Amino acid sequence: MLLGVDTGGTFTDFVFIGNNGVQTHKVLSTPDAPEKAILQGIKELDVDESSLLIVHGSTVATNAVLEGKGVRCCFITNTGMADILTIGRQARKELYHLNPAVKVPPVPKELCLEVSGRLSAKGERVESLNEDDLLSLHKTLKEIAPQAVAINCLFSFLDDEDECRIEGAVPNGIMVSRSSRVLPEYKEYERGMATWLNAYVGPLVKGYLDRLTSSVNTRSVSVMQSSAGTIAASQAGDQAVRMLLSGPAGGLMGALHIGKLAGYERLLTLDMGGTSTDVSLLNGEISLTSEGEIAGYPVAVPMVDMHTIGAGGGSIARVDKGGLLCVGPESAGAHPGPACYGQGGVAVTVTDANLYLGRISADHFLGGAMSLDINACNIAVEQLANALDCSPKQAAEGVIELANEHMARALRVISIQRGIDPAPYALMTFGGAGSLHVCALADALQIKTAVVPVNSGVLSAFGMLAAPKSRELSKSLVGELASISLALMQKNFLEMIDRGTVELLEEGVPQHKTKVNHLVDLRYVGQSYTLRVPWVTKQQATEEFHQLHEKRYGHQLELPVELVNLRMSITAEVNAPAMDTLTERKQGEMHQQSVSEEGDNIRVIQRQQLHANDEIVGESLIVETVATTYLAPGWRCKVDSLGNLMLTKA
């Protein structure tokens, strides 16, 4: 019995796979205590907890960072380096702004602590760590009484002895996040930020997972990581920084799985929920990056390569001081939500605009389980129209057009701006609101094919069930690739394999069922940024680096190639959830006669009553329990054998 759960900002989504096939469900999220929504969903699904394997994506870490509501945390480093996180890279968002707003330091000055001890860039001992410093540190931490500490010593990726001694001096009851374990890589600022973020949200994640696991009587609870692999809940609290893109990673795994089954491995994906929209590009696999960020902070741990914007179904429309219409990034969230939810919301959101234009059927929202307040929606749209001095219909259309442009721009960032023509790709939209905008976005990027996958409104929850158990490990080893010792590289690779294998063994995964991928980060000597390529031999890695550099930047250089990081991906594949197939209609039976009904303006078609090879042409709403697909004029839809909606330009 499998249960995938995606905890979003507005809704918590469920996909249950049991003896009777696939069941989907949604409940409003409970941000203050996310486990409450999960327990509510399990109760409403009426499933036997004792036989459940739960895999879920959590927003606890993400929201804590975005809202600045992490725990009280100390940052411990070498003497003279306490300002590392405050100084950062001295990069300015507004290059020509002479008086930028002063950013609040991640860690207050009084919580930045220093100790003696220093290593050189080659790992040689420059200064010993004084025992008196450790005793003083222990006393100071008892007085400050933080909930967590982040330890980040210079060059600890070469030798972690000092960090381990500092960890031993931390009083009991305080969570310890050590950079030599969280991210043993060069770049002290990025390593320090990852270590601090891990400590900043770690106790919150651990507390939430402890409450969840103690509240359910299940066989196991796993959590989705930002790298699109799962980790046992019992281990996730110590690696909270690896959960910052937990939910979106599930969506990409679901898109990859269904895309392959449908015959499309080259996909542009768009996951539109209530609060945000995530876009990505897939070429038969999920790409990872170590250059992500959240709330303006760099996150150097591996995570899915995607671009996120503040545009969702709950994005609020407003008129600025200049009289121009703006949409987002502020969201109405789950409470009060859009005006049409009838929970006190008064501002127009993208959902309200879609409802006003007839692109959401009030009678079919969440399968009829949630009633919409059309009157409140109309009042909100009319007030926005008055502020814009236009008709209500024009105001609603303006909200949709602006939201579409925000999302189209995001899709261009991960395709055109990287030198990739999006036209040959298929656009796959999912999330609760994504399929309402699929045709408009495909038109904007001149894409002729789009896919709305089966259970699109809860695809992230479905993807959790298709995700492998995995670990992404890394270690910096800097030097010219041609001259660096193969034996030293192999030694470091084996150490990472041992660590990852032990963690997976604790989850019950035997070693013979794991798959190991070796990768390296390379650059030309003198460069600051790296490109990641598979590792087999030095010659092959060098050739692939040259080719990738030319593809990405348009040229190669006649310079030595330098190794920067060794990377190891260890995965244990799971049996992908079985997909039900649809039958075709009997000859002469018309699907439009049996599944459509006349709405006020647009034909409404029940998705669950569609059969394989059914075709729909012309403006229609294809409704289901967890989402609505708006088929725009000029587009046609054909249902494949799995129930996916295959959209093509007519």
The answer, yes or no, to whether residue 146 has pLDDT greater than 50, is yes
- What is the distance between the alpha carbons of residues 645 and 650, in angstroms, rounded to a whole number? 14
User: Rounded mean pLDDT of 386-390?
Assistant: 93
> Please, which residues bridge with residue 596 across strands?
605
At 540 the pLDDT is 96
Using a 10 angstrom Cβ sphere, with 0-12 exposed, 13-18 middle and 19 or more buried, the burial of residue 49 is middle
- Cα 218 to its chain centre, rounded Å, is 25
Per-residue pLDDT tens over the stretch 208-250: 899 988 888 877 889 999 999 999 888 888 899 999 888 889 9
Strands of the sheet with 515-524, listed across from one edge: 21-28, 11-18, 2-7, 53-57, 220-224, 230-232, 469-480, 561-572, 515-524, 531-534
pLDDT tens profile 638-649: 999 999 999 998
Q: Using 50, 70 and 90 to split pLDDT, how confident is the model at 188? A: very high
Residue 455 has pLDDT above 90, yes or no: no
The one-letter amino acid at 81: M
The span from the CA of 89 to the CA of 211, in Å, is 38
pLDDT at site 139: 95
User: Distance between CA atoms of 524 and 490, rounded to whole angstroms?
Assistant: 22
pLDDT digits (tens, 9 = 90+) for 573-606: 877 777 778 888 776 565 554 444 444 468 888 8
Whole-angstrom Cα distance, residue 634 to residue 436? 15
Beta-strand relationship, 175-178 and 112-115? unpaired
List the structure tokens of 633.
Answer: 């004029």
Name the pairing type of β-strands 603-606 and 175-178: unpaired
How would you classify residue 100: left for phi > 0, otherwise alpha for psi between -120 and 50, otherwise beta? beta
CB 478 within 8 A of CB 563: yes
Average pLDDT of the chain is: 89
Q: How does DSSP classify residue 263?
A: T
Task: Report d(CA 318, CA 329) in Å as an integer.
Answer: 11
What DSSP string runs through 362-405?
TTTGGGGTS---HHHHHHHHHHHHHHHTS-HHHHHHHHHHHHHH
Q: How far apart are CA 464 and CA 597, in angstroms?
A: 35
Q: What confidence tens digit (pLDDT) does each residue in 517-554 have?
A: 999 999 999 998 899 999 999 999 999 999 999 988 88
Q: How far apart are CA 619 and CA 636, in angstroms?
A: 9
Is 8 a residue whose pLDDT tops 80? Answer: no
Query: Of 67, 72, 155, 164, which is closest to residue 110 (Cα–Cα)?
Result: 72
Q: Which of 227, 185, 74, 203 is nearest to 138 (CA)?
A: 74
Is the predicted pLDDT of residue 256 greater than 90, yes or no?
Answer: yes
Which one-letter amino acid corresponds to residue 538? K
> How are the residues of the chain apportioned to helix, strand and coil, as percentages rounded to the nearest 5?
35, 25, 35
Q: Are 363 and 328 in contact (CB under 8 A)?
A: no
Per the CB < 8 A criterion, the answer to whether 369 and 382 are in contact is: no
Q: Which amino acid is at 32?
A: D
Helix (H, G, I), strand (E, B) or coil at 350: helix
Q: Which residues contact 586 (CB under 8 A, 6 or more apart)?
A: none
- Give dist(CA 53, CA 61) in Å, integer: 22
Q: For 73-197, CATH number?
A: 3.40.50
The domains of the chain are located at 73-197, 315-403, 472-572, 591-649
